[in-house]
Amino acid sequence: MEDLLTEAINPNTENIDEKNIEEILRIINEEDKKVAYAVEKEIPKIARVVDEIVKRIERGGRVFYVGAGTSGRLGVLDASEIPPTYGMNPEVFQGIIAGGDWALRFSVEGIEDNYEQGRKDLEEKYIKAEDVVIGIAASGRTPYVISALEYAKSKGSFTVSIVCNEDTPMEKIADITIKLLVGPEVISGSTRMKAGTAQKMVLNMISTTTMIKLGKVYNNLMVDVQILNKKLKERAKRILRITCNLSDEEAEEFLKRAKGNTKLAIVMAKTGLDYETSKKYLDKNKGKVKETLREISKE
């Protein structure tokens, strides 16, 4: 353990227990500033991962985040927010945490050492070659995650590891390893801090960029948002007002005619086409609004 960067003693936080509250907060903040720079160095690798994910999802593949403890919780968090935000089928992005749902709320630390369980949990998902399995572990040596990556590899899946140390066992398995070298934690070994923040940033980047390239975003608006409550309906109406220069009443009418589909409402409002024709063009262009509008404008 003493060889791991994430377990090292941080010289910048020695005697932190003797500082006053504001001094402690400033020390933590200074350390947190290093996270974005560590992530920035790995953008070329993150780009390769996103490119592979987009291609595989378009061919029917899925993405699995696998982790234990904080890493597992972050994976489940990111995956669970994609369906309501982007209207994506919940089967496409899935988070798997060692210990199952119980581990989301309570510590089940021993489970991360269960090598066999990582493979078993992925077996239940019927992993195939078109899938992507992303193992997340600050140490890069969690047996549960290693087992999952090895099993995914045996099935021909594209494998990724997200770690916060150099030369880890997970790096030796994965097709691509994203190394977030954020350095020693404020509190030695507390990887829910800088390491966890870096992992969350990368997962956000992966899933958000994937959704953009899959046509779930128009300009910088989440046009595939599911209208599940009043707030989300108001958001959809606002998107229509902004993109199509409509009044609130007109936005509500187009949303109704589009059967609650914001992207279809945009196409209908901008082109004057009916629901069925707009849907035909949008489906042909894989749900990408700008490509749909370009095709219609040429005809």
**42 noted as active-site residue:** no
Burial of 31 (0-12, 13-18, 19+ CB in 10 A): buried
| Active-site position among 31, 42, 112, 252 | 112
Q: Provide the token pair at 208.
A: 């958000």
Rounded CA-CA distance 84/80 in Å is: 8
**112 noted as active-site residue:** yes
Rounded CA-CA distance 144/237 in Å is: 45
Using an 8 Å Cβ cutoff, are 53 and 46 in contact?
no
| Active-site position among 2, 14, 18, 81 | 81
Sequential DSSP letters for 166-202: SS-HHHHHSSEEEE----S-SSTT-TTTHHHHHHHHH
Catalytic residue numbers read 81, 112
